[in-house]
Structure 1
């Protein structure tokens, strides 16, 4: 075959090996997937993890090759026994490297509003959590780390407007310069 014929046509096995090598060299991203769940009065479901000092939204880290919305759904089921459909994306936050951590893509999905009957169904089912509580927005802002609250506030805005929010370090992308 002529050398002008592309490698993927000339030698499909060599082409697949080339792609695999490129895939192995590319950086990997950590992905977190959280869920915004509200009770029948509109209060937000927050969890108190044992492994960090502040409250958080329910969710956690996606496993290798796991879609973020399914990671959020799995974490909600594992942590609190809630089996809710999780698919509507509200917010994505690119979190820059900090401390010992590389960068992260943090997703927040809509877990919907629980009925009065569902409100009593969550139970701590994971050793990682101390407890959970439904909180007003004011209480949530007081309990969450500032950058987590900014992410939650953006997710709440997305609920109102129907527009997914894209953030960088908790701020609307392009609106805040980071000092280097």
Structure 2
């Protein structure tokens, strides 16, 4: 299980971290330890890696990731950890050897720096943040339109032209 956080600066830029043990950028957070709740895991990871003690405001998404490479399937959680103050942002730095750097990026640039699966998850987490509706994903993809109610999902599709084409 993994647990990550969306953290923003006062300008709304997203915090990304660059791990030392794999290429590219990630959302801050990481793997849960045995029998550790996702909320505890993300708080621990942020404390260990960035020296941050955060409040979690909401669950944004849960993503079931199928087995890939040498790894089994996993559940990936993303939480809203709010906005950091300018003072905190100015002094933010990696606190252990697992991170090479951390930086804030405008949303579009941050998403472009993430690997495909994590980018899809982050896009869905950002959408959930704006709508206040958590998302359930499979491999970064939503299974249904999260902005529609069950009644709307059962509405018949309205055809705009007769079957068989225009007459």
Q: TM-score, normalised by structure 1?
A: 0.77
User: How much does 1:54 deviate?
Assistant: 1.3
1:88, distance to aligned residue in structure 2 (A): 1.6
2:97 to 118, 122, 127: 127
One of 50, 73, 78 as aligned partner of 1:80: 50
Alignment of 1:1-180 (within 5 A): 31-173=1-143
Computed over aligned residues only, the root mean square deviation of the Cα atoms, in angstroms, reads: 1.3
Give structure 1 stretches of 5+ with no counterpart.
1-30, 176-180
Q: 1:162 to 1:174 in 2, by over 3 A?
A: closer
Of Structure 1 and Structure 2, the greater helix share is in 1
Distance 1:151 1:127 in 2: 26
Instruction: Quote how far apart the aligned CAs of 1:139 are.
Output: 1.1
Moved over 6 A (4+): none
Q: CA deviation at 1:87?
A: 4.9
CA distance in 2, matches of 1:45, 1:117: 15
CA contact (8 A) 1:70 1:86 kept: no
Alignment check: 8 A CA contact 1:33 1:108 kept: yes
List alignment gaps of at least 5 residues for structure 2. Answer: 146-167
Q: Distance in 2 between matches of 1:59 and 1:69?
A: 10
Question: How much does 1:51 deviate?
Answer: 0.7
2:151 match: none
Give the equivalent residue in structure 1 for 2:153: none
Structure showing greater Rg? 1
User: What is the TM-score of this pair, normalised by structure 2?
Assistant: 0.83
1:61-110 Cα deviation digits (max 9, x unpaired): 11111110110011001000011112521110000001111000000011
Distance in 2 of aligned mates of 1:68 and 1:86: 11
